[in-house]
Amino acid sequence: MQCIRVGVIGAGGVAQVEHIPNLLKLHRQFKILGVYDPSRKVRAFVGEEFGLETFSDLDALLAMPLDAVVIASPDALHREQSLAAFAKGLHVFCEKPLCYSAGDIDELIAARDRSGKVLQVGYMKRFDPSYEAALKMLPGTARTLRYISVEVNDPDA
């Protein structure tokens, strides 16, 4: 099996607690080549804690010989960073939300299709039994579905 070379974009909480440790544990499948974050303090912590090369410039990370990126930056940056990764011919795993509008998702789908790469959105409830039951209740297919809003109420609250 080929080891996938990964860059991490955004080194905040979800990257530090989930993505970086999980990718490091799966060292036979993934090799983190670098982490981009605009914060000097965050880069210093990630470099020291995980022994990873860090970048203050996104283009410098994207210039590495990467196969894919994990985007764990603030939500408002997901669209532009995904587009930048596709422009470099990289697979994209992006934290939710991927973007804010149907027009934005159409732009990302077009960029994904042009690049021939994979776009995956990280959503931790994907295999939750309640999520799977909700999918069965939806009309149409994933091709026709544009937006879902879910409100969860705690009956014990």
CATH number at residue 64: 3.40.50.720
Identify whether 52 is part of a domain: yes
Gap between the Cα atoms of 134 and 11, Å rounded: 32
- What confidence tens digit (pLDDT) does each residue in 50-62 have? 999 999 999 999 9
**pLDDT score recorded for residue 38:** 98
Identify whether 129 is part of a domain: yes
Identify whether 147 is part of a domain: no
Banded pLDDT at 157 (limits 50, 70, 90): low
Identify whether 156 is part of a domain: no
Q: How many domains does the chain have?
A: 1
Q: Which of 93, 87, 88 is nearest to 69 (CA)?
A: 93
**pLDDT score recorded for residue 142:** 65
**pLDDT score recorded for residue 131:** 75
**pLDDT score recorded for residue 83:** 98
- Per-residue pLDDT at 126 exceeds 70: no
Identify whether 115 is part of a domain: yes
- As a dihedral over the C-alpha atoms of residue 89, residue 147, residue 99, residue 68, rounded to 10 degrees, the angle is -30
